[in-house]
Amino acid sequence: MAKLTIDDLKKIKEKVHKEMSLRDGERRVKVTVHMGTCGIASGAKEVMDALLQEIEDAKVNDVFVTTSGCMGLCSREPLVTVEIINQEPIKYEYMNPNKMRQVFKRHILAGEIQTPFVLARGAEVIR
């Protein structure tokens, strides 16, 4: 890969600005990759990377990715929560890069919940 410069960044900025005025970068989906020690040790970083690469390749700008800590279900890590606007959050367990790519294509883009990987519906309640 050729070395990227600040000028490249400026070009990207202008390009993105143009696209943004055409379609608003509204947040349609929020994806949370759980990044506690347990998640990282079981491969959350690779899951996160697969997700980010899929988003880049699909050129979508309405999917917002964030990380969170451990939620106490360490044995089922890596966990990923997919929250499509106005829908109940879906938690996926035992994720890996391939499952993440499938969830991205089938659930996040096409709206079909990937039942075999689902741990639970709804948000966790941390007391």
Partner 1 sequence: MLELAAHILDIAENSTRAGAKIVKIDINENDAKDLLSIEINDDGGGMTKEEIKKVGDPFYTTKTVRRVGLGIPFLADAAQRANGKLKLKSTKGKGTNITATFQLGHLDRQPIGNITTTLVALIAGNSHVDFIYKHRHNDRQFTFDTRQIRKEIDDLPINHPEILKYIRGVISVGLQEISTNA
Which residues of the shown chain bind partner 1 in the complex (CB under 8 A)?
A: 1-4, 6, 8-10, 12-13, 15-17, 25, 33, 35-38, 40-41, 45-46, 48-49, 52, 55-56, 59-61, 64-67, 69-72, 74, 126-127
**CA gap 57, 53 in Å, rounded:** 6
Question: What phi and psi values does residue 83 have, to the nearest 5 degrees?
Answer: -125, 100
DSSP-derived secondary structure for 16-77: HHHHHHHS-----EEEEEE-SHHHHHTTHHHHHHHHHHHHHHHT--SEEEEEE---S-GGG-
Residue with smaller CB distance to partner 1, 25 or 122: 25
Residue whose CB is less far from partner 1, 70 or 113: 70
**Complex with partner 1: residue 77 or 107, whichever CB lies closer:** 77
In the complex, least distance from residue 81 CB atom to partner 1, rounded to whole angstroms = 13
Q: Which is nearer to partner 1, 43 or 113 (CB)?
A: 43
Find residue 34's DSSP bridge partners.
68
- Please state the closest distance from residue 20 (CB atom) to partner 1, in A: 8
